[in-house]
Chain A
Amino acid sequence: MHSVLQRANSILAYALSVLACLTFACFVSTVFLDYVTDANINTVKVVVKNVPDYSASREKNDLGFLTFDLQTDLTHLFNWNVKQLFLYLTAEYETSNNELNQVSKGNGCALGQDHIESANKNITLTLSWNIIPNAGLLPNIFASGSHSFQFPVEYTTSRM
Chain B
Amino acid sequence: MDLVSLFDDVKRMNKRQFLYQLLSFGMIVSSALMIWKGLMVVTGSESPIVVVLSGSMEPAFHRGDLLFLTNYPEEPVRVGEIVVFKVEGRDIPIVHQKNGTIKFLTKGDNNSVDDRGLYAPGQLWLTKRDVVGRARGFLPYVGMVTILMNEYPKFKYAVLACLGFYVLIHRE
Contacts and interface: CB of A to CB of B under 8 A. Distances in A.
A86 B60 contact: yes
Contacts of B96: 98, 101-102
Nearest to A129: B80
A46 interface: no
Nearest to A135: B139
B80 A128 contact: yes
Contacts of B98: 97-98
B78 interface: yes
A48 interface: no
Interface string A97-139: 1111111111000001000000000000000111011111110
A102 B138 contact: no
Nearest to A55: B114
A84 interface: yes
B79 A132 contact: no
A56 B91 CA distance: 18
Given A88-B91, A98-B98, A106-B93, A135 B80 contact: no
The size class of the interface chain A forms with chain B is: 20 to 34
A109 to B, nearest CB: 13
A88 B82 CA distance: 12
Interface in B97-114: 97-99, 109, 114
A60 interface: no
A130 to B, nearest CB: 6
A72 interface: no
Contacts of B109: 86, 106
The size class of the interface chain B forms with chain A is: 20 to 34
A102 B79 contact: yes
Given A55-B114, A88-B80, A90-B80, A101 B97 contact: yes
A50 interface: no
A82 B144 CA distance: 22
A129 B82 CA distance: 11
Given A84-B59, A102-B95, A106-B93, A138 B137 contact: yes
Contacts of B80: 86, 88, 90, 104, 128-130, 140
B64 to A, nearest CB: 13
A4 B30 CA distance: 33
B170 to A, nearest CB: 14
A101 B79 CA distance: 10
A99 B100 CA distance: 9
B19 interface: no
Contact of B94 (A3, A97, A99, A104): A104
Interface string B111-133: 00010000000001000000000
Contacts of B99: 97
6 contacts: A84-B59, A86-B91, A97-B98, A135-B138, A137-B136, A137-B137
Interface of B: 1, 59-61, 78-82, 91-99, 109, 114, 124, 135-140
Interface of A: 3, 23, 55-56, 83-84, 86, 88, 90, 97-106, 112, 128-130, 132-138, 140
